[in-house]
A and B are shown apart, each in its own frame.
Chain A
Amino acid sequence: MIRCVLIALITLIMFLSPAMGQEFAVVDVRAYTMESEDVAEPIDNATILVRDGRIISVVAAGDVPDGVRTINGGNSIVTPGLFNAATKLGLQEMSGAPETVDYKSADSDLTVGFDPSLAVNQLSTAIVLARADGMTNAFLTPNAGKDPLFGGYGAVIRLGGSRNIEVRAKAGVLAYVSGDYNRDGFGSRAVLWQRLRGELTEARGELSCNKTGKKGDIGDLPLGKSNEKALELVLCRTVPLVLFTDRESDLRQLIELASDYNIRSVVVGGAQAWQLADKLADAEISVIVTPSVNIPSSFDEIGVRSDNISILNAAGVDVMIGQVAGNIGSTYNAGLGLRMEAATAVVEGLDWYEALRAVTVVPNRVFGSADGAGTLVSGAPADFVLWSGDPFEASTNAHAVFVAGHEMPLETRQDMLGQRYMQGQ
């Protein structure tokens, strides 16, 4: 226990030291820069040059400037760090222990304005594990709490940088429409649609988004005002409305609502989305799916199929992968679960490179990360992974994980336990 605390503290201090002025190179790797939108174009025998936490260049057989520290990649595959588009990492240590769960508001005065980023626990043991599995970013999705309609603000996290977790709060607004979630609260999903429209209409009232599409700063507000503010950010297209929903009728409602209110939106789940692939593409609504789910857990999910993601992708929908249902990729395995989901997507027809895009560049773009995030182009954040093989293979381990140009420690608590008991108790 003391050892764990010490390691956590040392790790923390390490991250707090500035990345400025550091320069190094990784040589002899096969690098997927994600520069191409549609064709895998890895750079073989690549040299990745990193300075001040950013990618300077990725060049085949590139020269390393004198005096720059060099890491030999041993012909590893290198990808940008992976992005899980729907998880509760950092908001939940043990799902069965409410003391460690912070992803929903039970306060009826704080609904859509609930900001779970204030609760992110950067010492969660699940974080080191996710990072050791090659995951460096995620979108956190608060659940609907007292209010069955709204979850509150989603946040983007980065597993490193200035702290063990960097949090970018208020990167989306979560809503939920389904037949069986918290059903006692409303009776019919039609009520939820009427409420959503009603609240958006009210928030639109006197709203004037300024020239940059944003209205004022996001400050500390009384709870009621916080709720209003969240809807304003959606109406001003500052952040997307992220809707957990599965059924075809609800997806149609969303398409209409997004058009009527001119908002950006993202679907999470989307079990029946394959039935509306073209319409979702036309509406520029992106979809986060869990490809391994091929058995409907609720009646809303009837017809759920593992090739949903490839059907949507073929229609031109931006697809991402998260852990929406099932239990293969639960929060405590946010990294490995994500990789296995990507493999399933590929088996079910999604092009391998599209799958890689779905867990790197696409979610970074959808959730408004810094320029270049999820790629290895010049100027991109130096968040990348050296793999022992294909990143989506079960047998592959991450050899090295860099976040903001720092090589991150990969020894997990599980590794320590395993080492302790390897030779007998």
Chain B
Amino acid sequence: MAEYKIMNVFDRTISLVKWLAFFACFATTGAAAPWDDAPISSTYRPIPSDPIIIRNATILDGAGARFEGRDILIRDGHVIAIGNDFPTDGVDEIDASGLWVTPGIIDIHSHNGTNVRPRTDSNRQASDVSEGSDVDVGDTWIETAIDPQDTAFARALSRGVTTIQVLPGSAPIFGGHSVIVKPVPASTVSEMKFPNAPLGFKMACGENPKWKGADASSTKDWPTSRAGVHAYMRDRFDAAREMLVNWQATGSVSDDAKTVALAGVLAGKINVHFHCYRAFDMSVMLNLAREYGFQIKAFHHATEAYKIVDQLRAAGTCSAVWSDWWGYKREAMDAIRANAPLLHERGGCVMMHSDSPFVGQYLNIEAAKAEAAGRRLGLSVPEEQMVRWITSAPASAIGLGDRIGTIAPGFAADIVLWNGNPFSAYSRPKLVLIDGAIRFNADAEQRQSDFDLGRTPAIEVMP
């Protein structure tokens, strides 16, 4: 048995090398890959804006540096430089003395636009968070379900969030494609969709993806246990690998879009975001990824990541975590608030995520709560490091680490001016810029969503 398994892994490795070699050749030809078939293209355009100098702020650049008394020059939607004595001709100046500046916050795990409130019975019966007809719904694209009028987008923007990854839910094993959006007013998701962003894909392990199979009303042959889920994943990845090899050899593409998506994962062209809580579950999935030669970009929730920091670091896999969620199910019982500082201290890649339209307004405070818990263990993390957990770390994990999440020359000018230390519970954004244009101004009248419009009376007119 053991011998068979060794051979099997050996064979797999050989074929892996073969198709990798082939893929490397193919990639240079520039033809569209079969998995690159998102149904909606981005029509997002930055709002044109004049050059801006943000003067004299305390700057946390998102990459680990802190600057005092410097200015930021923004032009054509990008950061041009951090420095002093920039020419001021034709430039709007913002005096940020006493204010703090960070990159725009990136929420790597949201269901905004699909888990839309207020909910109704029909939402409960047929939720848009994920497709429920199969445990492999890898052919779905959550961008087809986004309601841009979800108030949660504007709320997130007002709390400094400038990029959001909307993921499908964790009930299926293969949940489908994510979409990365900017929380700007829009009537269609294409107007919010981040241009030319890498593809993301949701998978799930642990308690959730076995529920569907174990449901008494289910008549399908879906897995009912962790072991069954793992075997199912292997089965599907075997099919995807076969398709990939065929495609490389003959150019023929499977007509099963679910298999095509997984082939994209195996080709390393789709970022995998993996819902997992427990250390042993994550370890099993890291092994699976190694076996099939793909990388898991980030475990989401990862409440026990602190138990396997070395394994995660070796795999280059990040952990997207909350500060303080724990007591709602068995696999969350060993969650600790100090997860993030502990991972950080030991060289792991970590970031905060929301999974909730309410937490999605407090990602800076998520970081602060986690850091406070770290200090109970003697770990202290300075602000310029903490800010990475909500900016450059999630930017990298969604494949945009060279475009957003850091204030540096060439990066998009997604910038938040805070009225105080961004990790204080009393601080709020004063201005939020996306691509150099002011998208939120705390002192201006706020645009109501279509849903809110005309529904709530002003205080002073109530009889």
Instruction: List chain A positions with a Cβ less than 8 A from chain B.
Output: 92-97, 125-126, 180, 183, 274-276, 292-299, 301-303, 311, 326-328, 330-333, 336-337, 340, 343-344, 346-347, 392-397, 414-415, 417-419, 421-422, 424-425
Contact = CB atoms under 8 A, between A and B. Distances in A.
B369 A336 contact: yes
A50 to B, nearest CB: 25
Given A295-B152, A424-B310, A425-B307, A94 B346 contact: no
B243 interface: no
Interface stretch (B3-11, B35-43, B213-221, B327-335): B327-335
Given A275-B462, A343-B425, A94 B330 contact: yes
A395 B368 contact: yes
B197 to A, nearest CB: 26
B424 A332 contact: no
Given A295-B357, A418-B306, A96 B329 contact: yes
B250 to A, nearest CB: 46
Given A93-B327, A94-B327, A414-B335, 20 more contacts: A94-B330, A96-B328, A298-B118, A298-B119, A326-B356, A328-B358, A328-B362, A333-B325, A336-B324, A340-B365, A340-B425, A347-B425, A397-B375, A397-B376, A414-B337, A414-B338, A418-B306, A418-B336, A421-B309, A422-B377
Contacts of A340: 362, 365, 369, 425
A332 to B, nearest CB: 3
B365 A394 contact: yes
Contact of A419 (B118, B377, B428): B377
A261 to B, nearest CB: 25
B239 interface: no
B117 A295 contact: yes
Contact of A418 (B118, B342, B356, B455): B342
Contact of B155 (A294, A297, A396, A419): A294
Contacts of A394: 365, 368-369, 372, 423-425
Interface string B300-331: 00000011111000000000000011111110
A421 B306 contact: yes
Given A295-B357, A340-B365, A392-B425, A415 B376 contact: yes
B342 A346 contact: no
Given A275-B457, A340-B365, A330 B327 contact: yes
A347 B428 contact: yes
Interface of B: 117-121, 151-152, 155, 306-310, 324-330, 333-338, 342, 345-346, 356-359, 361-362, 365, 368-369, 371-373, 375-377, 379, 423-426, 428, 455-457, 459, 462
A418 B334 CA distance: 10
Given A93-B327, A333-B324, A414-B336, A422 B342 contact: yes
A298 B151 CA distance: 13
Contacts of A298: 117-119
Contacts of A414: 326, 335-338, 373
B377 A415 contact: yes
Contacts of B456: 302-303
A274 B457 CA distance: 11
Contacts of A419: 377
Contacts of B152: 295
Contacts of A126: 327
7 contacts: A275-B459, A297-B119, A332-B328, A394-B424, A421-B306, A421-B342, A425-B309
Contacts of A301: 118
Contacts of B326: 332-333, 414
A302 B124 CA distance: 18
A124 to B, nearest CB: 9
B459 A96 contact: no
Nearest to A341: B425
Contact of A343 (B338, B356, B426): B426
A163 B428 CA distance: 41
Nearest to A333: B324
A270 to B, nearest CB: 15
A168 to B, nearest CB: 24
A169 B325 CA distance: 29
A347 B426 contact: yes
B88 to A, nearest CB: 34
Nearest to B369: A394
B381 to A, nearest CB: 11
Nearest to A352: B426
Contacts of B424: 393-395
Contact of A297 (B118, B342, B379): B118
Contact of B151 (A125, A295, A395, A418): A295
A302 B376 CA distance: 40
A227 B178 CA distance: 51
Given A302-B455, A336-B369, A327 B356 contact: yes
B379 to A, nearest CB: 8
Contacts of B328: 94-96, 330, 332
B337 A397 contact: no
B446 to A, nearest CB: 11
A316 B30 CA distance: 69
A396 B372 contact: yes
Contacts of A296: 117-118
Nearest to A394: B368
A302 B449 CA distance: 12
Nearest to A183: B121
A406 B308 CA distance: 38
Contacts of A344: 425
Looking at A97, A328, A415, the one whose CB has the most chain B CB atoms below 10 A away is: A328
Contacts of A396: 372
A393 B358 contact: no
Contacts of B457: 275, 303
Nearest to B368: A394
A425 B425 contact: no
A303 B423 CA distance: 28
A303 B459 CA distance: 11
Contacts of B371: 395
